[in-house]
Structure 1
Amino acid sequence: MASVNRWLRPEVYPLFAAVGVAVGICGFQLVRNICINPEVRVNKENRAAGVLDNFSEGEKYAEHGLRKFVRGRAPEIMPSINGFFTSPDRS
């Protein structure tokens, strides 16, 4: 019982959360690549096809919805706060 209390202290909860998020992101990317990546072929029939020059399918995979959503936006996380602290006309 002493070893359980050693690892389940409240101080390690953020570490567990960070590791959990990292494992979740890795798992999501793994499933995404296996399921919809045009260069990954899991079953034998698709592997026998060899290298395909299917550029439209590759572009559809690379230009996903999130990339299209953020393409025209400024690379800021909190634009209103950034504008408040960097705007020269504020006194």
Structure 2
Amino acid sequence: MASSSVNRWLRPEVYPLFAAVGVAIGICGFQLVRNICINPEVRVNKEGRAAGVLENFAEGQKYSEHFVRKYVRNRAPEIMPSINSFFTDPSRS
């Protein structure tokens, strides 16, 4: 019984599914750890929870303006700009 289920799920055709699920779990885990560790609105210890609502706008701004957002702010929203310009630029015709 166990070997038939192993043979069913551990085939090369299933590897991309395992990879996609693994990447999704990794992204979720990263976001969970990021929020628990550095989000100013999440308070894990008892003293932080007892403080109530804090108006720490500078800390919230620092959290929301992370390096990825700063990196992509002034860039065009394209994944492959050279291919996009090849197919959309009328001067290339």
Rounded to whole Å, the distance in 1 between the matches of 2:92 and 2:70 is 34
May I ask how many residue pairs the two structures share in their alignment? 91
Counterpart AA for 2:61: E
- Kindly provide the CA deviation profile for residues 38-89 of structure 1, in whole angstroms up to 9, marking residues without a partner as x: 0000010111111100000000001111001100000000101111111111
Counterpart AA for 1:79: P
SS of residue paired to 1:40? coil
Q: Which runs of 4+ in 1 moved over 6 A?
A: none
Counterpart AA for 1:9: R
Rounded to whole Å, the distance in 1 between the matches of 2:38 and 2:5 is 43
Q: Match of 1:18?
A: 20
Quote the RMSD (CA, aligned, Å): 0.7
Q: Where do 5+ consecutive residues of structure 1 fail to align?
A: none
Rounded to whole Å, the distance in 1 between the matches of 2:69 and 2:40 is 18
Rounded to whole Å, the distance in 2 between the matches of 1:59 and 1:86 is 37
Match of 1:41 among 43, 55, 58: 43
Match of 1:71 among 66, 70, 73: 73
Superposition TM-score, scaled by structure 2 size: 0.94
Q: Match of 2:53?
A: 51
Q: Where do 5+ consecutive residues of structure 2 fail to align?
A: none
Rounded to whole Å, the distance in 2 between the matches of 1:90 and 1:58 is 46
Q: Match of 2:92?
A: 90
SS of residue paired to 1:52? coil
Report the CA distance between 1:90 and its aligned residue: 1.5
Superposition TM-score, scaled by structure 1 size: 0.96
